[in-house]
Amino acid sequence: MAHETKKLVIGAAGGFLIAVLIISGFVWTGMLPVTEAKGLLIIRVKDAPAELNELWLNISAVRVHREGWGNETWKEIPVVTELFDLLLLRNVSTVLAAGELPVGNYTEIRFRIVNAWANTAENPHQPLNVVANGWVMVKVHFAIEEAPITSVLIDIEVNEEPILNANKLMPVAKATVDYIE
- Tell me, rounded to whole angstroms, the distance of Cα 71 from its chain centroid: 16
User: How crowded is residue 18: how many other Cβ atoms within 10 Å of its Cβ?
Assistant: 10
How do residues 87-142 score in pLDDT, each as one tens digit? 999 889 999 999 999 999 999 999 999 999 999 888 888 999 999 899 999 999 99
Residue 89 to residues 22, 49, 162, 168, Cα–Cα distance (Å):
56, 10, 21, 21
How do residues 14-69 score in pLDDT, each as one tens digit? 444 454 445 555 545 555 566 788 999 999 998 766 678 999 999 999 999 998 86
Q: How confident is the model at residue 150 (pLDDT cuts 50, 70, 90)?
A: very high
Q: DSSP states of the chain as a string? A: -HHHHHHHHHHHHHHHHHHHHHHHHHHHHTSS-----EEEEEEEEE---SS-SEEEEEEEEEEEEETT-GGG-EEEE-BS--EEEGGGGSS-EEEEEEEEEESEEEEEEEEEEEEEEEE-SS-SSEEEEESGGGEEEEEEEEEE-SSSEEEEEEEEEE-HHHHHHH-EE-EEEEEEEEEE-
**Residue ranges of domains in the chain:** 1-34, 38-180
User: Which class in CATH covers the domain with range 38-180?
Assistant: mainly beta
167 pLDDT higher than 90:
yes
Q: Picking from 3-17, 71-85, 147-161, which range would have the lowest pLDDT averaged per residue?
A: 3-17
Q: Picking from 8-12, 34-38, 156-160, 173-177, which range would have the lowest pLDDT averaged per residue?
A: 8-12
